[in-house]
Chains A and B, each alone.
Chain A
């Protein structure tokens, strides 16, 4: 079973306790009424979906209940790093190198 580290609980827990909530670091436009339809559609629907390292939001829903962010390699399904919500996004390129891509 895939084990995921929760940065709030400080322990590794089985994937069953978590739920994935898609790509991280997507900011809602500050003034929605000033955006064009294309910009709004991009914010709502368009994601990078890379083959390789991606920053994702995860929620420890059956544990502490908190959202956090994780860097995951979509090829190997390996978690490279977890960090608390609100912390800056690490450089995925650096982790891509470590992951051998």
Chain B
């Protein structure tokens, strides 16, 4: 299932060259997507789910997905919704219509963040050169999503498969993230 989701929402950007291709790990820039920051209280969740087309996750560190949709739990009252780029305007107006009666905030953050796809048997190892949390599958299961740090920059990390991750970082921090990842991967070549 994770593979399907990745290919639908987070696909490698064919107009950009891969950042790293090694037998054990690859880093691909992801194609642009529509990203929406949703903040509201419990009263708005059912309405938002109806507007967006997928339940809004209430279990910490989880994501809910449907065809062309993903909703990520980022905090007790904060979510990020991801959908194909072309549907942004429709999603924003749907959310605004449905949530009209409850206090909420819906903000388009599509261009604030970029994503890269890190995959391969050593993907977790490579990310752990900068991510301080335990990425073993027993501690960070497939489907887990969290905000954390990569060295000094905040990132959002989503595990889409045992060996595949989506890393989201702010646009101006992306070169820092990918640069350090590519540099750390040099160690794999030496081994």
Contacts and interface: CB of A to CB of B under 8 A. Distances in A.
Contact of A10 (B60, B78, B133, B149): B60
A14 B76 contact: no
Given A9-B60, A9-B61, A64-B60, A1 B75 contact: no
A62 B133 contact: no
Given A8-B60, A9-B61, A17-B149, A64 B132 contact: no
Given A10-B60, A11-B61, A63 B132 contact: no
B111 to A, nearest CB: 21
Interface in B133-165: 133, 146-149, 154
B154 A62 contact: yes
Interface in A47-65: 62-65
A-side interface mostly = loop
Interface residues of B, number: 13
Given A8-B60, A10-B60, A16 B147 contact: no
B167 interface: no
Nearest to A61: B154
Interface in A24-38: none
A66 B42 CA distance: 16
B147 A62 contact: yes
B76 A66 contact: yes
Contacts of B76: 8, 64, 66
B132 A1 contact: yes
B133 A14 contact: yes
A3 to B, nearest CB: 10
Contacts of A10: 60-61
Contacts of A11: 60-61
A16 B149 contact: yes
Interface of A: 1, 8-11, 13-14, 16-17, 62-66
Interface of B: 60-61, 74-76, 78, 132-133, 146-149, 154
Nearest 4 Cβ contacts at the A-B interface: A64-B75, A14-B132, A9-B60, A65-B75
17 contacts: A1-B132, A8-B60, A9-B60, A10-B60, A10-B61, A11-B60, A11-B61, A13-B132, A17-B132, A17-B148, A63-B146, A63-B148, A64-B74, A64-B75, A64-B76, A64-B78, A65-B74
